[in-house]
Amino acid sequence: MAEQSADPSRSGAARAFRAIAIAEACSWAGLLVGMFFKYIAVGSDIGVKIFGPIHGALFVAYLVIAVVAARRLSWEPRTLLLALVASIPPLFTLWFERWALRTGRLRAPAVAF
């Protein structure tokens, strides 16, 4: 039987957090491109109309899943605070997700028998 627990992304909370963090960063990028076209290049706001609501929904989903992941993965309050702060600057959720994966914060806590 293959050992799946060695992969830190196998936890449901970790998988959901990683997916939302990446999607939120992509929606930020889309919104930034839309804002560029609206305010600098063309004057059309179609990109903002499309990516604004998408980013808003993913932003809220990221905040919720960060709190859920913090509980299920036993994060310290400081780690949760960093995850929440990472939602504000563009693309920082991607940085936080990579950092959390690299430092083992996306591994499920060991279960004592």
DSSP SS3 for 42: coil
Q: Is the pLDDT of residue 10 over 70?
A: no
* DSSP letter assigned to residue 7: S
Residue 100 · residue 83 · CB < 8 Å: yes
Q: Is residue 3 part of a domain?
A: no
Q: What would the mean pLDDT of 36-54 be, rounded to a whole number?
A: 86
| Site of tokens 């806590």 | 109
Q: Is residue 22 part of a domain?
A: yes
Q: Which of 29, 96, 34, 31 is nearest to 62 (CA)?
A: 96
Q: Is residue 21 part of a domain?
A: yes
- Share above pLDDT 90 across residues of the chain, in percent, rounded to a whole number: 65
C-alpha 26/C-alpha 55 separation (Å) is 9
pLDDT band at 44 (very low <50, low <70, confident <90, very high): confident
Q: Which of 70, 69, 74 is nearest to 109 (CA)?
A: 74
- The reported pLDDT for the residue numbered 11 is 77
Q: Is residue 86 part of a domain?
A: yes
| Site of tokens 């605070």 | 81
Q: Is residue 2 part of a domain?
A: no
What is the identity of the amino acid at 76?
E
Q: Is the pLDDT of residue 43 over 90?
A: no
Q: What would the mean pLDDT of 31-45 be, rounded to a whole number?
A: 86
Query: What is this structure's pTM?
Result: 0.83
Q: Is residue 77 part of a domain?
A: yes
Q: What angle do CA 20, 111, 19 make, to 5 degrees?
A: 10
Q: Is residue 78 part of a domain?
A: yes
Question: pLDDT per residue over 58-104, tens digit each?
Answer: 999 999 999 999 999 999 999 999 999 999 999 999 999 999 999 99
Residue 65, domain extent: 12-102
- The reported pLDDT for the residue numbered 47 is 81
Task: For residue 39, give both structure tokens.
Answer: 């305010």
Which residues lie closer than 8 Å to 43 by C-beta, 6 or more apart? Answer: 37
Q: How many domains does the chain have?
A: 1
Q: Is residue 109 part of a domain?
A: no
